[in-house]
Structure 1
Amino acid sequence: MSRQSNRAGDPRKVNGELFTLTYGALVAQLVKDYENDEDVNRQLEKMGYNMGIRLIEDFLARSNVGRCHDFRETADVISKAGFKMYLGITPVVSNWSPAGDEFSLLIENNPLTEFVELPEGHNALNYSNILCGALKGCLEMVQMDVDVRIVQDQLKGDSITEIRLKFIKRLEDALPAGED
């Protein structure tokens, strides 16, 4: 007789594992479809960006978070509310630049990489690049142009996953042509 897992009672845990496995299948298909890791990385970032520009509306509606006044406040909201709400984790905000325009999100247990090993010969693959795209898309929708990239990756032997965000500029609200 088989034992039931304790996870059966927690739908969030089951949904998280389903997402992780589904994401793994998506990345595996992209690796088959594209010739090199850089193309896969671009596709993952593009998919994440498209998710991010839609996720921000849901996040703002569900979280009751107001407008952030500076990049430090934005970092706190991303780590304590955004990642917690959608991935069930709270990354550590660290490594601020002296100018306060750049920081890192340190993820000790990346849920995307829970059941994953990088395939041999794919050392340039940024498996979690979808997170970079999602962050970029979300922040762009709240008028922040940022550069987001993976600096350290547990799948490549690092002790943590580190995502680096750099503020580039504040975007101006753009009105459609002909509307003033």
Structure 2
Amino acid sequence: SRELFVLTYGALVAQLCKDYEKDEDVNAYLDRMGYSIGIRLIDDFLARSAVRKCRSYSETADVIAQVAFKMYLGVTPSVSCSSATGNEFSLILDKNPLVDFVEELPAERASLCYCNLLCGVIRGALEMVHLAAEVSFLQDRLKGDAVTEIGITRSVLSGCSRWPRTRRNQLRAGPPLS
């Protein structure tokens, strides 16, 4: 059930906060963990959703918001295109299901990106369909912002050596999750 997942995720973040002193380390761990999930989740997504190849980055944004988020989190964020070139967009969540049981972050954890797992999932899934991206939180309700906003910017890959994902490239992604 969704509630069990949300509670388990909260327990995971709490344990990571105990294990790591710096918020940056917790953020990096959550991102790597999400990335690992994303590179596997894309296969399930493509099999279950039967979406066709997107023709533009804005179409990709719509599929992420209207299909993927709805399928896995039960919410549909709105999409905001951030640039004239169409290489940047934001997903704006009025309701973030991962924080259903979280009221606020402790003052000593002000730089913690509680839901950074989502950034890693999106980045990993996009890379597996050859759309490298930088993904980060631009606004977060847990930090007092009006909405939760995830920014996604298309990256340019140097060369094709990153495809397919090989053991050598996994080593570049950082240390394995323990």
Interval containing the TM-score (normalised by the shorter chain)? 0.7 to 0.9
Q: In structure 1, the residue corresponding to 2:106 is in which secondary structure? A: coil
Where in structure 2 are the equivalents of 1:151-166 lying within 5 Å?
A: 151-166=138-153
Match of 1:136 in 2: 123
Deviation at 1:55, TM superposition (A): 0.3
Give the secondary-structure state (helix, strand or coil) at the position aligned to 2:136.
Answer: strand
Cα 1:59–1:36 change in 2 (3 A) is same
Unaligned runs of 5+ in 2: 167-178
Alignment correspondent of 1:20: 6
- Between the two proteins, the alignment pairs up a number of residues equal to 163
Provide the rounded CA distance (Å) in 2 between the counterparts of 1:74 and 1:23: 27
Corresponding residue for residue 109 of structure 2: 122
Correspondence for 1:86: 72
Q: Show the counterpart of 1:100.
A: 86
Q: Give the C-alpha shift of residue 60 in structure 1.
A: 0.2
RMSD over aligned Cα atoms: 1.6
**2: CA distance, partners of 1:89 / 1:79:** 8
SS at match of 1:121: helix
Which AA in structure 2 matches 1:50? Answer: S
What is the TM-score normalised by the length of structure 2? 0.87
The verdict on how the C-alpha distance between 1:32 and 1:80 changes in structure 2, with shifts beyond 3 A counting, is same
User: In terms of Rg, which structure is larger?
Assistant: 1
| Displacement of 1:131 | 0.2
Which AA in structure 2 matches 1:47? M
Q: Give how far 1:119 is off.
A: 2.1
SS of the counterpart of 2:92?
Answer: strand
Confirm or deny: 8 A CA contact 2:58 2:81 kept in the other structure. Answer: no
CA displacement at 1:32 relative to structure 2:
0.3
1:174 aligns with 2:160: no
Q: Decide whether the 8 Å contact of 2:87 with 2:153 is kept in 1.
A: yes
1:34–1:158: structure 2 CA closer, same or farther, 3 Å change rule?
same
Deviations 1:38-73 (A, max 9, x none): 000000000000000000000000000111111011
**What do residues 154-173 of structure 1 show as CA deviations (whole Å, max 9, x unaligned)?**
00011110000000126747
Whether 1:31 and 2:17 are equivalent positions in the alignment is: yes
Alpha-carbon separation, structure 2, partners of 1:106 and 1:175? 31
Q: Distance in 1 between matches of 2:163 and 2:141?
A: 39
Per-residue CA deviation, residues 86-123 of structure 1 (Å, 9 max, x unaligned), is 00000000142111110100001000011112123100
Aligned to 1:112: 98
1:176, CA displacement in angstroms?
8.7
Shift in Å, 1:175: 5.7
Distance 1:32 1:94, change over 3 A: same
Q: Distance in 2 between matches of 1:58 and 1:147?
A: 22
Task: Name the TM-score, length of structure 1 as normaliser.
Answer: 0.86
